[in-house]
Structure 1
Amino acid sequence: MKSHEIQACSFSEWYPLFKKVTFPSKIIPLTQEFVDYLLADNLVLRSDQALLTYSRDDSNSSDSEDDEEGWAKAESETPALEAPHFEDIDKEITTAIAEFGGKAFIKLNWSSPKDAAWIALNNSLQCHMSADVHLLLKSSDFILHDLTEPFKECEDQNVNQTPVKYNLVLRKWVEINPVNEFRCFVQNKNLIGISQRDDTQFSPFIEKEKEDIVRDIVSFFKEQIRPKFHLDNYVMDVFRQRKDKIVLIDFNPYGVITDSLLFDWNEDLLQISDTSETTSPSDCASATPDFRFIPEESGIRSNPLRRYCVPEDIAHLTSGEDPFKLMDLLKLRSGTQEDNADSD
């Protein structure tokens, strides 16, 4: 995977080419000052009612009393803190949300803050004012990845690169049934695989309409995407609004940085063949992509985003990422049991 492939999947790069087949969107260039604000630890939001202050360092506390003390301390310090002012950007956000009917979906160049949806009052990425935008962006690890290491998996990450120009993207809010979203894998300009986008739930209608789903997506790809998108290898997300109606959602890099869902990046199907053996699009005009979906309820997976809703220590324990924490927990439990035995 090369850095130019990551750049090509940046929203501002592809949106002008595909405006007619995707959701209406507004691109707002971000100043370095605003980027620095997103990277800073403290979160200070100004609303019409109050000034809210929170620190990332406080978010990992597992003791409720400590949490209450932290919030009390933050509130007591509020008068001494000044919320950052980004009048021009906030004005553009407000205008865009109004143009989209009072609701908007947000993202940066590549990622949306979907890991932070739990912190919003409506538990979604639906934004009604600039404070909603600030809260989600500041609370998201996905956004932090965009800002700090977008080229981490690239072969040429240490080669001279043009500095990233960050943008805030507001998109018209559209109610989407997750079972109608699909992730498509394009290799050497050929559509080779389609995966159910939400791999956490079983949907009977997919089995019933699988042939129509594949036919609609293949037609959309050949007519609207392949002639215009210049990359040979990429991943795209689409929404099947109804029969014969496909809407483009996003483009993603072809590689481990993108979730392969019901596929596996190590399997032969997704391996890019040597350039000398590359198959041209015309050679595969009649090839049918491999379509994968949850065929029965027993195949349902847990939602990977849930781990962002619990303290980091607990997430590490359940995933086995930090064996030392597990050892400490076992020692603590052993000591508790010994104390109980002594008291008996």
Structure 2
Amino acid sequence: MLIQQKEISELISCSYHKIYEQFKKNCIKTYYLSIPTDVLNYLKQDLFILPKECNLHTGLSSQTENTKFIGEASNFSDEEDDDDENVVPEFPEFSKQILEILDKLGGSAFIKTNWHSPKDAFWITAGQTLKARDLSDVYQLLKASSICKEDLNIVNVENFHQIVFKKWKEIHPGTEFRCFVRNKNLIAISPRDWPQYHEHFKTQKNDIIKDIVSLFKEKIKNNFSIDSYCFDVLRETKDHVVIIDFSPFNEKFTAPLAFDWSYLHGDDIILSQNNDEEDDNPEFRYLANNDVGIQPNPRNNYGFPLDMINWFKNNSNANEQIQNLSELSIQQQADDDDEQ
């Protein structure tokens, strides 16, 4: 992906470890770790070997043990005599810091890199969740995520890349919203869970808009470093909105969800040039009742990578391993459907 210098600057402005220090009173409790060069190089590699420390701590899932992801370097190499590929990596100090943060957050966390979570790698953990409960979960999610690998390759600035740990909490998908800001005007709001139907959007529409606009005007509008950007929020109850993330106002990095980028950039949206009370009257789009039909589940966009399936096929208990993972996937899909 070709990225211009202006876009890199906007990405840096939206990096979570930067915005958290400014808006922490309105965010979920978070810790973050700078990724050392050796760990960064390890996370960028395609070879799937977990660090040695993962074998030294309890909490390893049966799924992890069955598929031999931990320290079984020879299983992932066609050249078993290649010493470089058979060396199990070690990051004792960094792994210790991860464990300390997990402990501070109550034993589990939602993790991400500077801009994205490893949502394409949920399948690899026990129970197929983004909930990181131990070292193995953290390293597995980051190693298996192509999305996070892209993040780690975008900005070549030493000591810039971070692993972000947010306190884990169960979030109803109908309480998350993406907000679009253009030239310091809040122009649009979309459910994050687009295009799923949530009945309360219709009855609470005005309150949702009012609460988000209030947070934007009071905390964000005159305090963010760039004029056009997107931000995600959580609104679980009336009058209480929490900042989840920021991202560039750019189709390369941010999904428009209920909108399209030609509309968000277009002349149909009239931007105010002052700070009077008529500013920030965003359009809130959501799936209306008469539009409800069979909607795709976003989780279906991500599944078991082909190279992982091929690896299973080269092992003696391949059929059993694939069947176990498939059953986990089906069960997780059923659980998701029950929650909606």
TM-score past 0.5 threshold:
yes
Q: Are 1:25 and 1:169, in contact at CA under 8 Å, matched by a contact in 2?
A: yes
Separation of aligned partners in 2, 1:91 and 1:82: 20
In the other structure, the counterpart of 1:248 is 243
Q: Residues 244, 124 of structure 1: CA spacing in aligned structure 2 closer, same or farther, 3 A cutoff?
A: same
Residue 302 of structure 1 corresponds to: 296
2:68 matched residue in structure 1: 52
* Stretches (4+) displaced over 6 A: 70-75
Show the counterpart of 1:96. 101
User: What's the offset of the Cα at 1:11?
Assistant: 1.2
Is 1:282 the counterpart of 2:275? The answer is yes
Contact persistence 2:185–2:279 (CA under 8 A): no
Deviation, 1:279, is 3.5
The CA distance in 1 between the partners of 2:179 and 2:77, in whole Å, is 48
Name the residue aligned to 1:193. 188
- 2:55 is aligned with what amino acid? S
Q: SS at the partner of 1:28?
A: strand
Q: Distance in 2 between matches of 1:247 and 1:74?
A: 50
Superposed, which structure 2 residues align to 1:1-344 within 5 Å?
A: 2-45=7-50, 46-48=54-56, 52-53=68-69, 81-149=86-154, 162=157, 165-256=160-251, 257-267=253-263, 269-271=264-266, 279-283=272-276, 285-296=278-289, 298=292, 301-311=295-305
C-alpha RMSD of the superposition: 3.2
Q: 1:28 to 1:272 in 2, by over 3 A?
A: farther
Which runs of 5 or more structure 1 residues have no equivalent in the other structure?
A: 56-69, 151-160, 314-344
Label 1:140 to 1:311 Cα distance change in 2 as closer, same or farther (>3 A): closer
> Any idea what SS the aligned residue of 1:309 has?
coil
Distance 1:246 1:170 in 2: 20
Residue deviations 1:216-253, cap 9 Å, x none?
Answer: 00001000111211210000000002100000000000
Preserved CA contact (<8 Å) 1:190 1:284: no
- Kindly provide the amino acid, as one letter, of the partner of residue 68 in structure 2: L
Aligned residues of 1:54 and 1:74 also touching (Cα < 8 A)? no
SS in 2 for 1:115: helix
Identity %: 36
Report the CA distance between 1:81 and its aligned residue. Answer: 3.6
Distance in 2 between the 1:311 and 1:13 partners? 32
TM-score of the aligned structures, taking structure 1 as reference length = 0.75
Q: TM-score, normalised by structure 2?
A: 0.76
Q: Which is worse superposed, 41-50 or 19-28?
A: 41-50
Query: Which protein shows a greater Rg?
Result: 1
> Residues 199 and 300 of structure 1 are in contact (CA less than 8 Å); yes or no, is this contact kept in structure 2?
no
* In 1: Cα distance, 2:104 partner to 2:215 partner: 28
Change (3 A) 1:144 1:87: same
Aligned counterpart, 1:326: none
